[in-house]
Structure 1
Amino acid sequence: MAALRTCERPSLSNLDMSIHVANDAQKNQIQVPTAEDEFDYSQRAQWLRAAVLGANDGLVSVASLMMGVGAVKDDIKAMLVAGFAGLVAGACSMAIGEFVSVYTQRDIEVAQMKRERRKRESSGDYEQETEREKLPNPGQAAIASALAFSIGAVVPLLAAAFIRQKKVRLAVVAAVASLALAVFGATGAVIGRTPVVSSSFRVLIGGWMAMAITFGLTKLVGTAGL
């Protein structure tokens, strides 16, 4: 019986070993980084900024323009033509501006690469090719900006296209633009892992201010007969 009791009792060395193994397992579980922790969300900043900025610009610019025209004109055709002209002009402006901006950035980076190569006194073909692949593409940036602007600008155009009554049309444009602004702000926040409510609210307030100022000033100028 004594022998059986002795066998049933776990030794202190076994207990210590089990505790150490358990502690090591817990440390490993705590220290293992997840894929989300390792991902650098700052890498998304450049293209996310361009996409959100382009879509917001298109939405706010065209919606404000249509609200301004609607303040002094009852004709739906004038409102839609003004909105379409704003879409085309804004998309071209965004594309050209982004192309020039990114090309300037590319020139600066190329000049910096040349200075670094002269300092290292090495100009291998493989290294040059690797550096060339990292350079920004002005054409892609221009197309992306124009496309993002057009996507945002088409929202108020579609909202007003089938509504004949002026007051209802203006209200629908303002409501749809507000909803789209909130969606754009939330989408950018989710992709960039930033607070959703504050981002959406900030974008929404900016859009409301732009539409209200454009509507008010255009109404004032139209009433004054200037």
Structure 2
Amino acid sequence: MRQPLLAVQDAEIGTASSSEAPALLVSADGSDGGNDPRSNLGGSLRQGHGIAARSASFNRARSFRDSDIGHSHYSHRSPWLRAALLGSNDGLVSITSLMLGVGAVETSHTMMIISGLSGLIAGACSMAIGEYISVYGQRDSEEADLQKEREEFEKGPEAVARELRELTQIYVARGVPYDLARQVAEALHESDPIRAHAREELGIDLDDLSDPGQAAVVSAISFFLGGITPLLSGCVITDYNTRITVLIALSTVLFIALGALGAWLGGAPQARAAVRTTVGGWLAMAITYAVVWAFGASGV
């Protein structure tokens, strides 16, 4: 009588996310389950002892979330939002420091607003262009690496076997027993070899390739939103001393908020991050003010 099948899901293979490990279906006596319909995951492997059923689809593997494993992770939590917060902090520090620098030598309300507006537009454009070029270069590198992998698989059976050995050794190096590593590698090769090698060998997620356009837009908007607040505060306050005081106070509040929010997204202590962000912003403003004031006082 056939023994019940034991579902062994999410085998630990040392990958960055254990939810992406293949699901293996193995009978208690080491067989592949014969014709038992429960073992039909799209075809069984033909090599190795204790033959395992083929891995479930990547979409199923990617469906696992923190709620399925009982705890939360922060390293991949809303990465685009954290990047936007960094861009907003850049805008806030840059525009506030620029306006204070102008205020160190010029009390004119108009001059401070014009300088702040110029810095806001130039900074947003610079962020967008720089990010676009940087991410596009990264995307080109990813595409070039993926193309090399595709070409390897087109060279014939010997090259495919070499790639299979390479993937197996990746898992072995992470502490997986050779036989299991071989089974996992074979299952992934049957499913989607390019995707498997992209993730495990190159660290590239085919579902999340770099997007230069998105990076440029997010960078520009985040910088603009961070810099527009101090600029608007300067627009509505005409008295010089009041304007400088409000500018510093408002920026301090925003430094605290951005630092705490960024730490919350990353699961880090919020108070420490808020203090770190605030002190950094104060240093930038103080250095800018002092240097510009010194140049102005020297008559340069």
Scaled by the length of structure 1, the TM-score of the pair is: 0.77
The range that moved more, 202-211 or 156-165, is 156-165
Identify the residue that residue 11 of structure 1 maps to in structure 2: none
Which of 64, 81, 97 in structure 1 is aligned with 2:97?
64
**How many residues are matched?**
193
- Aligned-pair distance for 1:38? 4.7
Which of 217, 241, 244 in structure 2 is aligned with 1:170?
244
Alignment partner of 1:194: what SS? coil
Which of 106, 110, 122 in structure 2 is aligned with 1:89?
122
Identify the residue that residue 12 of structure 2 maps to in structure 1: none
CA deviation profile, 1:48-107 (whole Å, cap 9, x unmatched): 442122101100000000001111111111001100100000000000011011111111
Higher gyration radius (CA): 1
Identify the residue that residue 111 of structure 1 maps to in structure 2: 144
The equivalences for 1:23-34 within 5 A come to 34=67
Name the CA distance, whole Å, in 2 between partners of 1:127 and 1:98: 31
Name the CA distance, whole Å, in 2 between partners of 1:143 and 1:36: 35
- Aligned-pair distance for 1:116? 2.0
Alignment partner of 1:134: what SS? coil
CA RMSD of aligned residues (A): 2.6
Identify the residue that residue 223 of structure 1 maps to in structure 2: 297
Name the CA distance, whole Å, in 1 between partners of 2:216 and 2:261: 21
Indicate whether 1:98 and 2:172 are aligned. no
Name the CA distance, whole Å, in 2 between partners of 1:36 and 1:141: 31
Indicate whether 1:135 and 2:209 are aligned. yes
Indicate whether 1:190 and 2:264 are aligned. yes
* Letter of the structure 2 residue corresponding to residue 61 of structure 1: S
Identify the residue that residue 221 of structure 2 maps to in structure 1: 147
Indicate whether 1:51 and 2:51 are aligned. no
Name the CA distance, whole Å, in 2 between partners of 1:199 and 1:36: 28
Q: Structure 1 pair 164/146, CA: closer, same or farther in 2 (3 Å)? A: same
Identify the residue that residue 203 of structure 1 maps to in structure 2: 277
Name the CA distance, whole Å, in 2 between partners of 1:71 and 1:212: 10
- Aligned-pair distance for 1:36? 8.2
Work out the percentage of aligned pairs sharing the same amino acid.
43
* Letter of the structure 2 residue corresponding to residue 88 of structure 1: I
The range that moved more, 112-121 or 127-136, is 127-136
* Letter of the structure 2 residue corresponding to residue 183 of structure 1: A
* Letter of the structure 2 residue corresponding to residue 100 of structure 1: I
Indicate whether 1:212 and 2:245 are aligned. no
Q: Structure 1 pair 38/113, CA: closer, same or farther in 2 (3 Å)? A: farther
Name the CA distance, whole Å, in 2 between partners of 1:212 and 1:170: 12
* Letter of the structure 2 residue corresponding to residue 97 of structure 1: G
Flag the structure with more relative contact order, 1 or 2, with Cα contacts below 8 A and sequence separation at least 6.
1
